[in-house]
Every structure is written in C-alpha cells, then in structure tokens.
Amino acid sequence: MRKLSRGAAALILGSALISTATAQPPGGAPVAPPLVPMVTPPAAKPEVRPTGNAAMVNTQAIPEVAVYRALRQFPEAHRETARKEILSHLIENALIDQYLNALKVVVDEKEVDKLIADLKKELTDAKKDYTRELEAMMLTEAEFRVEVSAQMKWEKFVTQQGTDAALKQLFDSSPDVFDGTMVRARHILLTPGTDEAKQKEAAQLLRGIKQVVEKEAGDAVAKLPPTADALAKEQAKANRTDELFAAYAKQHSVCPSKKDGGDLNFFPRAGAMVEPFAKAAFGLKQFEMSDVVATEVGYHLILVTQRRAGTAKKFEQVKDDVKILYAMRIREAVIGQMKPKAQITITPTAK
C-alpha cells in the first residue's frame, strides 16, 4: 500500500485514478503500473471541462469530469473499454468512502492542510505552480482536498486493520505470493457487461474455445508416430495448444494484448493482476487452460505458458509487499460487501 506522503500527494495530483488499489488498463486483468507524477500535455485546442454526472452511487454523484481526467490519458481507440473500467473503479472508490464514513473513520483537517502545504513546497522547489498543476488536471482545490482526505481515511483504516499479526498470518498462508514465483500467460477477454444473456453467451464461447483447443491438441499428439516418447508428445500438445489459443485470442479477445495472441508476459502472484485472475493463473500447470474466470473487467479464458520458480523469503524481507496485498484484499472485501446492496445508476453516454 502506498503511504500518502508528499510524493504520494504529487502522484494524486498527476494521476487520474486515486486509490490504494490501482485501476485496470483497457481490457485487461493487469493492474496499472505504479503511478508517476505527470501532467497531461496541453491539448492542441482548449479542453472543455465536462459537466453532469457519469453515475450515482446511492446518493453520491460521480461527476463526468472525474472520468474524463483518467480517460484523456488513453488513446482514442481504447477509450470505450477504458471508460467502463475507469467508471467501475470510481464507483468502487465511492463505495469504499461510504463504508468508511459509516464506520466514522475521519482524518484531521490539519493533516490534510499539512500534506497539501508540503506538496506546494515540493512543487515550488521543482519550479512548478500548484494552481496550474490543478488546472491541468481539471481539479479544483476543493476536489483535490476531497481526494486527499478520502485516500488518507483509507490509509488510516488499512493501518488499523493491518496489524503485524494480521500481516504475518497472510504471509504464512500464501508463501507462493511472496517468493517471487512468476507465470507467463495468454488470455482471451470478452466484455458482456451486466446482461445475463450476453454473459451466458460469452461464457459458452470461451468454453467452446477451450474444448476445441483441447481436442486439436489431443489430435496433434495422436498423429505422432507410435515411437514418439513422452517428451515429444508433451511438446506437440503444448505447441498446438499455444498456437490455437493465440489464434483465438487474435480473433475474439477485446484486450489490446490480442495483437500478441493474448500474451501478457510474466507477472507475479500479487500486485500485477486482479485477484480472481491471478489466483486462477497461478493454479494452472504449464499449458493448462482455466475455466471461465469472471472479473470486474469481463470474462477471461487463461492459458499459462511458462512458470518461473521463486525463492523462499522471510516475512521481514517482503513486509511491504504483504501490506500491499493485505490492502487489496480488504478493498475487495469491502466492495464485495457494499456493492450488492448499493443503488448504482450509470448515465448513458451520448453516441
């Protein structure tokens, strides 16, 4: 979990999504890379601050400008998918904030004042103007204070919950999460939305692809000469599985990784992928396919292509990583508790 310091405040100022758990890039299970201080370059023509609300979460509005702050950083070709993910993330942020408010988790306004004062000095030292930085992100002073306060409340809550005993328990129960083990995987992503008929259709398509790939891989092994040894059979099956899966990813996936046959390269157990995706991927053997995996992004079919074993670590060596995962798990638990009973209304976008 990122501590909310002056540097973190600068990240908030230059980032589009403010949350301990980072958002997803277009169409992917991968979590966004660590945020870096940035200001969107001046546009060729003046940008107009969007008006209206993108959604309502119970009685809390998510303004359209909050979505636009993030959306403007994506290429035009990815914006339709990115918008859904950005809005989903902001809805989850609102649910978390409402949860913390119900628990009466508060931060002292003086702490917010001090953090913003530190940020102003940091920007001044870097020969940057605080007001202009806010304007470049279409943030008012009041909006920025709300974002800082919300993040500080979350940090406070996670710190209260994440005692050394709780962190140690998570570490002991998940050795493969922290030992540096990596897997490489391909995936096919479909985004059926909330329509049950479309969800069923997407799941059937992915399961159909899995069946075809498994059958074709089996046929490839059957065509080998009777003298073929176990290694040759295994290799033939792996090659055909990988070849067909990549072809189907290019044909059906809506993730930008489709151009690479769905290849996501190597990733660790925690911190790079959303939990349902990571859990499924790390539970697979090499060249084994998952069943349909549902995440907030959509439906996935996963194929693990390589594994790299890690090295056992001591708790003290990876305590910061344990804190990050602990915060992610708490976030998922809060959202899982709040979302089913929330009244969420999304404003349709103009075509």
pLDDT digits (tens, 9 = 90+) for 180-205: 899 999 999 999 987 899 999 999 99
**Would the pLDDT of 233 be above 50?**
yes
Work out the average pLDDT over 261-278: 89
Three-class DSSP labels, the chain? CCCCCHHHHHHHHHCCCCCCCCCCCCCCCECCCCCCCCCCCCCCCCCCCCCCEEEEECCEEEEHHHHHHHHCCCCHHHHHHHHHHHHHHHHHHHHHHHHHHHCCCCCCHHHHHHHHHHHHHHHHHCCCCHHHHHHHCCCCHHHHHHHHHHHHHHHHHHHHHCCHHHHHHHHHHCHHHHCCCEEEEEEEEECCCCCHHHHHHHHHHHHHHHHHHHHHHHHHHHCCCCCCCHHHHHHHHHHHHHHHHHHHHHHHCCCHHHHHCCEEEEEECCCCECHHHHHHHHCCCCCCECCCEECCCCEEEEEEEEEECCCCCCHHHCHHHHHHHHHHHHHHHHHHHHHHHCCEEECCCCC
Residue ranges per structural domain of the chain: 6-172+327-346, 180-308
- Higher pLDDT, residue 321 or 5: 321
Q: What percent of the chain has pLDDT over 90?
A: 67
**Would the pLDDT of 306 be above 80?**
yes
User: Tell me: the pLDDT tens digits for 95-148?
Assistant: 999 999 999 999 999 999 999 999 999 999 999 999 999 998 899 999 999 999
**Would the pLDDT of 274 be above 90?**
no
What pLDDT shows up at residue 351?
A: 58
Residue 45 pLDDT level (bands cut at 50, 70, 90): low
What pLDDT shows up at residue 110?
A: 95
Residue 307 pLDDT level (bands cut at 50, 70, 90): very high
Q: Does domain 6-172+327-346 have CATH number 1.10.4030?
A: yes
Give 180-308's CATH code, choosing from 3.40.50.720, 2.30.40.10, 3.10.50.40, 3.40.50.300.
Answer: 3.10.50.40
